[in-house]
Structure 1
Amino acid sequence: MDYKEQVKVIRELAKQLKEISSLPKNRLKAQKWADHNDLKGNTEPLLWICPDDDGGWVELVPNETLQTEDKDLRELEVRLRRYIYHFHHFEDDFAFEPVVRFDMPGEYTGFMYGDSNQKTAWGINIDSYGISKDAYHLNNYLKDEANVEALLNHEVDFIPDIIEYTRLKDKYEEAIDNTIDIEFNIPYTVLVQSLLIELVHLKGLEELMFDLYDHADLIESIIGHMSDSKVRLLEKLEKNNMLFDNKSNIYTGSGGLGYSNVPVKDNNKVMLSDMWGFADSQEFSNVSNDMYEKFALKYQIRGLSKFGLACYGCCEPLDTKFDLIFRELPNIRRLSVSPWSDVRIAAENIKNRAIYSWKPNPAKVCTGINEPEMTRMLKETAQITKDCNVEIILKDIRTCDNTPKHLQQFIELVKRTFK
Structure 2
Amino acid sequence: MISAKEREYLRTLAARQKELAESDRNRELEKRWTAHNALQSGDPLAVIEIETFWKEICPALRCTDPDARAIEERLLFHLVPAELIGDDRVIPAAHRVPLQVQVEEFGLKKEKETSSDTSSAAYQYKHPLQDLETDLELLKPSTFSHNLPAARAQANLAEDIFGDILPVEIENQSLLWHVMPTQKVVDLMGMENYFVSMYDTPDELHQLMRFITDDLIRCIRWEEEEGILTPNWGSHYAGSSNFGYTNLLPASEKKNTNLRRGKTDIKMRDLWLNINSQESVGISREMFEEFVLPYYKELCAQAGLVYYGCCEPVHGIFTGGLDQIGNIRKLSISAWCDEASIAEQLKGKNIIYSRKPSANFLGVGEQLDEDAFRAYMQKTMDVTRDLNVEVIFRDVYTLSGNTGKLKTALRILRECAAKR
TM, length-normalised to structure 2: 0.90
Matched with 1:116 is: none
Are residues 251 and 190 of structure 1, via their aligned partners in 2, closer, same or farther at CA, if it must alter by over 3 Å? closer
3-state SS of 1:141 partner: coil
SS of the aligned residue for 1:143 comes to coil
1:131 match = 115
Which runs of structure 2 are paired with 1:233-248 in the superposition (5 Å)? 233-248=219-234
1:307 aligns with 2:303: yes
Matches of 2:115 and 2:53 in 1, distance apart? 22
Deviations 1:245-299 (A, max 9, x none): 1011222223311111235332322222221112111111111111112222211
Q: Do structure 1's residue 60 and structure 2's residue 57 form an aligned pair? A: yes
- Residue 191 (structure 1) shift: 6.6
Matching residue within 53, 69, 82 for 2:64: 69
Following TM superposition, by how much is the alpha carbon of 1:240 offset from its aligned partner in structure 2, in angstroms? 3.2
User: In 2, Cα distance between the equivalents of 1:169 and 1:323?
Assistant: 46
Aligned-partner residue type, residue 277 of structure 2: S
2:179 is matched with which residue? 193
Instruction: Please tell me the root mean square deviation across aligned C-alpha atoms, in Å.
Output: 2.0
The residue aligned with 1:10 is: 10
Which residue number corresponds to residue 119 of structure 1?
Answer: none
Q: Distance in 2 between matches of 1:334 and 1:200?
A: 25
CA offset at residue 37 of structure 1? 0.5
Q: Which aligned runs of 4 or more in structure 1 are off by greater than 4 angstroms?
A: 144-147
**Structure 1 pair 324/6, CA: closer, same or farther in 2 (3 Å)?**
farther
Separation (CA, whole Å) in 1 of partners of 2:35 and 2:348: 13
- Counterpart for residue 220 of structure 1: 206
The one-letter amino acid of 2:136's match is V
Moved more, 189-198 or 226-235: 189-198
Structure 1 gaps of 5+ residues are 111-121
Deviation at 1:227, TM superposition (A): 0.2
Give me the whole-angstrom Cα distance separating, in 1, the residues matched to 2:308 and 2:275: 5
- Shift of the alpha carbon at 1:189? 4.1
Contact 1:59–1:403 (CA<8 Å) still a contact in 2?
no
Corresponding residue for 2:261?
A: none
Cα separation, partners in 2 of 1:402 and 1:377, compared to 1, 3 Å: same
- Name the residue aligned to 1:391: 390
- Select 1:106's aligned residue among 101, 104, 107: 101
State the Cα distance separating 1:168 from its structure 2 match: 1.7
Would you say 1:33 and 2:17 are equivalent positions? no
Query: What SS class does the counterpart of residue 312 from structure 2 fall into?
Result: coil
Moved more, 169-178 or 3-12: 169-178
Task: Check 1:173–1:104 CA distance in 2 against 1; reply closer, same or farther (3 A cut).
Answer: same
| 1:281 aligned residue | 277
Task: Name the count of aligned residue pairs.
Answer: 401
After superposition, the Cα gap between the structure-2 partners of 1:181 and 1:205, relative to the gap in structure 1 and judged at 3 Å, is farther
Partner of 1:183: helix, strand, or coil? Answer: strand
Does the residue aligned with 1:356 lie in a helix, a strand or coil? strand
CA contact (8 A) 1:319 1:345 kept: yes
Amino acid at match of 2:87: D
CA separation of 1:324 and 1:185: change in aligned 2, threshold 3 A: farther
Q: 1:337 aligns with which of 314, 333, 338?
A: 333
Q: What percentage of residue pairs aligned between the two structures are identical?
A: 26
Q: More relative contact order in 1 or in 2 (CA 8 Å, sep 6+)?
A: 1
**CA 1:99–1:324 in structure 2 vs 1: closer, same or farther (change >3 Å)?**
farther
| Cα offset, 1:190, TM superposition | 6.5
> 1:176 and 1:205, CA in 2 relative to 1: closer, same or farther beyond 3 A?
farther
Letter in 1 for 2:274: F
Gaps of 5+ in 2: 257-264
1:137 alignment partner AA: Q
Aligned pairs (5 A) from 1:111-260: 122-132=106-116, 133=118, 134-143=121-130, 148-151=136-139, 153-154=140-141, 156-189=142-175, 192-260=178-246
Report the CA distance shift for 1:7/1:316 in structure 2 as closer, same or farther (over 3 A). Answer: same
Residue pair 2:367, 2:402 contacting (<8 A) in 1 also: no
Task: Label 1:204 to 1:263 Cα distance change in 2 as closer, same or farther (>3 A).
Answer: closer
After superposition, what is the alpha-carbon deviation per residue over 1:87-143, rounded to whole angstroms, capped at 9, x for unaligned? 112222111112233431231223xxxxxxxxxxx1012322223332112212012
